[in-house]
Amino acid sequence: MAPLAQSKHLIRAVALCSIAIIGSSSFAAEADWPTKPITLIIPFATGGTTDIIGREVGQKLSEALKQPVLIDNKPGAGGNLAAGLASKAAPDGYTFLLSTVAHSMSPGLYKSLSYNFIQDFEPVGMVATTPNLLIVNPKLPVKSVAELIAYIKANPNTVNFGSAGSGSTEHLSGELFKSMTGLQITHIPYKGGAPMMTDLIGGQIQMAIETSPSATPHIQSGKVRALGVTSLSRSSVFPDVPTLNESGVKGYEVITWFALMAPKGLPVNVQARLNTELGKVLKNPELLKNFAEQGVTAGNMKPAQLGEFIKTETTKWTKVVKESGAVVD
C-alpha cells in the first residue's frame, strides 16, 4: 500500500476509534445516571399546590435515585417563565420541569411563547391529579354555589376572584365559571397560590377556584369556606361538598394535573429509568397518605401515553379559552 493511502487509512481508523470511544463514554454516562444533583423547576411560588407536590415527590425521588433533587421555584407569566427556561436546558437528565395543566392552557391564552409545550419537551410521567375547589372568604354571606351566583348577580363587579397568575389553572377555572354563569367577576392574578390564599383569607379578594392541596388546610381550619368541587365526582376529602355540576353549573369540569417533563432530546434510557422510579415513588405508602389527605390522586402514565394526554388537553383548553373569551391580564 502506498504511503499516502496508508496515511489516509490510519487517519480514518483513528477517527472511527475516537467516535466509538466518545459514543461508549456517552452511553456509560447515561447508564450511570444520575451521578450528580438533579434540578426540578417548579413554575409557581413556594407554598402553592405545585410546590407542595413537587417537594414531596422530589424528596422521594432523591431517596430512590441516591442524588439530591434540588427544587428551583421560577414563578412568573402563568408558569411560562419556568417552562421557557426548562425548554432551553441541556437534555442530559439533570433538569426537569414539573408541568401543570396551566401549560396546556397557555397556547390558547398567549399570542407568543418562548417554547412549544408539545415539541420542546419529552414527557416522563404523570405525577398527580386533583380537582379544584370553589372557595370563598367566610365573611361573604353565601353557603352554596347557588347563593354565590345569586349574590354576585345582585352585586355585580363587587366580587373578585384570585389566581396563582394569569394563565394558571385557577385563572381558567374562574373564567370558565364566569362564562358558564354569565357573572361579572374581576380576576386578580398573583405570583403563586400562596400569596393569593393570604389575600383571600384576609378579605382582599372574595373567592377563588383553587387546587385541593392548597385549599384543604384552610378549609379545615375554617379560614375559607368550600362551596363546590370542580370534578364530576365529589372529593373523598370533602364528601359533603357538592360538585359545581350538581350545583347548577351543568357540565362544569376541571381537573388539575402535574407531570414531569424534560427538555427535548432526553436519552431514552434516562427517560425510562426515571419513569420507572417515579412509578415506584407514587406507590410509597407515606406519599399516598399525604396525597389522600389533600385530595390528590397519584399519577400512572408511561411517557407515550402522557404525550398523547398533553396533546388532548392542549386542544381542549385552547377551545375553552376561545369560547370563554379569557385573556391574560
Q: What's the start-to-end Cα distance of the chain, in Å?
A: 75
Domain shared by 65 and 76, yes or no: yes
The count of structural domains within the chain is 2
| Residue 107 contacts residue 113 (beta carbons within 8 Å) | yes
Q: What is the largest CA-CA distance in the chain?
A: 98
Q: How far apart are CA 226 and CA 288, in angstroms?
A: 23
Which domain-ending residue is among 194, 229, 264? Answer: 229
Which domain-ending residue is among 180, 213, 229? Answer: 229
Q: What CATH number should be reported for the domain holding residue 286?
A: 3.40.190.150
Q: What CATH number should be reported for the domain holding residue 196?
A: 3.40.190.10
Residue 12 domain flag: no
pLDDT in tens, 154-168: 999 899 999 988 778
* Separation in Å, CA 301 to CA 56, 129, 189, 261: 19, 12, 32, 12
Indicate the DSSP class of residue 3: H
Expressed as residue numbers, the domain containing 93 is 35-129+256-324
Return all residues near 288 (Cβ < 8 A) that are at least 6 apart: 282, 298
What pTM did the predictor assign?
Answer: 0.78
Strands, E assignment, 264-313: 297-298
Per-residue pLDDT of the chain (329 residues; tens, 9 = 90+): 555 455 555 555 555 555 544 444 444 446 789 999 999 999 988 988 899 999 999 999 999 999 999 999 999 888 999 999 999 999 999 999 999 999 999 999 998 999 999 999 999 999 999 999 999 999 999 999 999 999 999 999 899 999 988 778 898 999 999 989 999 999 999 988 889 999 999 999 999 999 888 899 999 999 999 999 999 999 989 999 999 999 999 999 999 999 999 999 999 999 999 999 999 999 999 999 999 988 899 998 999 999 999 999 999 899 888 887 887 86
Domain shared by 119 and 169, yes or no: no
| Residue 246 contacts residue 144 (beta carbons within 8 Å) | no
Q: Which of 223, 175, 170 is nearest to 192 (CA)?
A: 170
Residue 20 domain flag: no
Domain shared by 182 and 43, yes or no: no
Residue 245 domain flag: no
Domain shared by 303 and 159, yes or no: no
Domain shared by 159 and 307, yes or no: no
Residue 104 domain flag: yes
pLDDT in tens, 87-117: 999 999 999 999 999 999 999 999 899 999 9
Domain shared by 121 and 153, yes or no: no
Residue 83 domain flag: yes
